[in-house]
């Protein structure tokens, strides 16, 4: 298991944790992850943009049109859409301009946020009926995938069925721990923690539509943070959606960077 990081450079930690989490989506046998000419690309094999991607590994690397065309060709040959991440410590105006020139569409920036876990915290209010469990077996994992999709992605059924295989159980990858929230016996919310770069990365926070605005998302986030704190980690990081950012701010997360993305379909000309 990765060791906690003491007083990390939080922007670097946000980026490193983010990249490591998405890289693991490309693990074999179904996936693939490789680095070429300063760009890491990963493919889950699932035709949904968030599950496939590319990013520069150093500042200014991978900005050349020839490299961008090679990455585009890889995904186009497999008919897989993907995201090209624009990272705060590995970004240049040339990359964005060249991605747009090849047909990728800017998705905008999302705040990278961090929270110190050493400070005393009070659990946020949540419904008394909420019961948070950890995902321990394949049946739990199937429930986790369905709930995550209903609460966040709302992807077509053929995509949603593939989500469980993207998320290994903790015994398969100790960096990952999954949480499932139940109300009156029904799974209504998810979250997960990912230990990398000396920090606790928070991902997969989702609440099904009819259970929102009750504090459940905050409780799921808090549960993942607390588990990381008990493991000895001092900081939690995440990349927030527009819906989630106000919740995270109320929990004490503060913005430390911006992470952008460009989306590529399977029909781009290269």
Q: Could you read off the pLDDT of 96-154 as tens digits, one per residue?
A: 999 999 999 999 999 999 999 976 678 899 999 999 999 999 999 999 999 999 999 99
Residue 226: Cβ-neighbour burial (10 angstroms; 0-12, 13-18, 19+): middle
pLDDT band at 17 (very low <50, low <70, confident <90, very high): very high
User: How much is the average pLDDT of 153-172?
Assistant: 94
- 2 within domain boundaries: no
The span from the CA of 47 to the CA of 225, in Å, is: 31
Are 140 and 228 within one domain?
yes
pLDDT at 6: 45
Instruction: For residue 88, give the nearest of 71, 111, 68 by alpha carbon.
Output: 111
Are 161 and 244 within one domain?
yes
CA distance readout (Å), 237 to 52, 90, 189, 210? 21, 18, 19, 27
Which CATH number characterizes residue 80's domain? 3.40.630
- 269 within domain boundaries: no
User: Does the pLDDT value for residue 7 go beyond 50?
Assistant: no
pLDDT tens profile 193-233:
999 999 999 999 999 999 999 999 999 999 999 999 999 99
pLDDT at 58: 82
The least confident of 17-21, 48-52, 61-65, 99-103 is 61-65
Specify the 3-state DSSP secondary structure of 238.
strand
Are 97 and 128 within one domain?
no
User: How much is the average pLDDT of 87-94?
Assistant: 77
Are 127 and 246 within one domain?
yes
- 223 within domain boundaries: yes
- 89 within domain boundaries: yes
Contact between 146 and 204 (Cβ < 8 Å) = no
- 3 within domain boundaries: no
Q: Are strands 235-239 and 186-196 parallel, antiparallel or unpaired?
A: unpaired
The span from the CA of 174 to the CA of 221, in Å, is: 19
Are 57 and 133 within one domain?
no
Which CATH number characterizes residue 139's domain? 3.40.630.30
> Exposure pattern of 86-106 as b/e (b: 16+ CB <10 Å)?
bbbebbeeebbebbeebebee
pLDDT at 61: 80
Q: Who has greater pLDDT, 5 or 114?
A: 114
- 270 within domain boundaries: no
Sign of the CA dihedral 145, 86, 220, 243? negative
Are 29 and 136 within one domain?
no
pLDDT at 2: 63
Q: Where are the alpha helices (DSSP H) in 104-173?
A: 138-148, 157-160, 163-166
- 185 within domain boundaries: yes
User: How much is the average pLDDT of 181-201?
Assistant: 97
Are 105 and 123 within one domain?
no
Contact between 225 and 124 (Cβ < 8 Å) = no
- 5 within domain boundaries: no
Contact between 110 and 240 (Cβ < 8 Å) = yes
User: Does the pLDDT value for residue 90 go beyond 90?
Assistant: no
Q: How much of the chain, in percent, has pLDDT values that exceed 70?
A: 93
Are 78 and 180 within one domain?
no
The span from the CA of 40 to the CA of 18, in Å, is: 13
Are 101 and 224 within one domain?
no
Are 120 and 246 within one domain?
yes
How many domains does the chain divide into?
Answer: 2
Look up the domain containing 25 and give its range: 10-110+259-264
Structure tokens at 163: 């989500």
Are 102 and 192 within one domain?
no
Are 46 and 176 within one domain?
no
């Amino acid at each position: 298991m990765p060791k906690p990081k003491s007083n990390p450079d939080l922007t670097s930690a946000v980026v490193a944790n983010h990249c490591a989490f998405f890289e693991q989506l490309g693990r074999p046998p179904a996936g693939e992850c490789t680095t070429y000419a300063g760009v890491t690309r990963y493919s889950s094999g699932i035709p949904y943009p968030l599950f496939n991607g590319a990013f520069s590994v150093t500042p200014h690397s991978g900005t050349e049109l020839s490299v961008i065309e090679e990455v585009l060709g890889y995904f186009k040959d497999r008919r897989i859409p993907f995201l090209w991440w624009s990272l705060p410590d590995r970004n240049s105006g040339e990359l964005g301009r060249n991605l747009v020139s090849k047909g990728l569409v800017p998705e905008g920036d999302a705040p990278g946020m961090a929270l110190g876990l050493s400070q005393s915290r009070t659990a946020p209010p949540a419904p008394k009926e909420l019961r948070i469990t950890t995902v321990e077996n394949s049946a739990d994992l199937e429930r986790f995938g369905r709930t995550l999709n209903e609460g966040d992605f709302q992807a077509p059924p053929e995509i949603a069925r593939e989500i469980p295989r993207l998320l290994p159980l903790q015994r398969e990858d100790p960096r990952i721990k999954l949480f499932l929230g139940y109300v009156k016996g029904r799974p209504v919310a998810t979250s997960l923690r990912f230990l990398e770069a000396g920090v606790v990365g928070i991902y997969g926070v989702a609440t099904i539509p009819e259970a929102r605005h009750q504090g459940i998302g905050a409780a799921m986030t808090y549960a993942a943070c607390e588990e990381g704190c008990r493991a000895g980690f001092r900081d939690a990081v995440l990349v927030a959606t527009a819906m989630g950012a106000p919740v995270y701010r109320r929990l004490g997360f503060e913005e430390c960077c911006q992470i952008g993305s460009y989306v590529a379909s399977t029909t781009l000309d290269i």
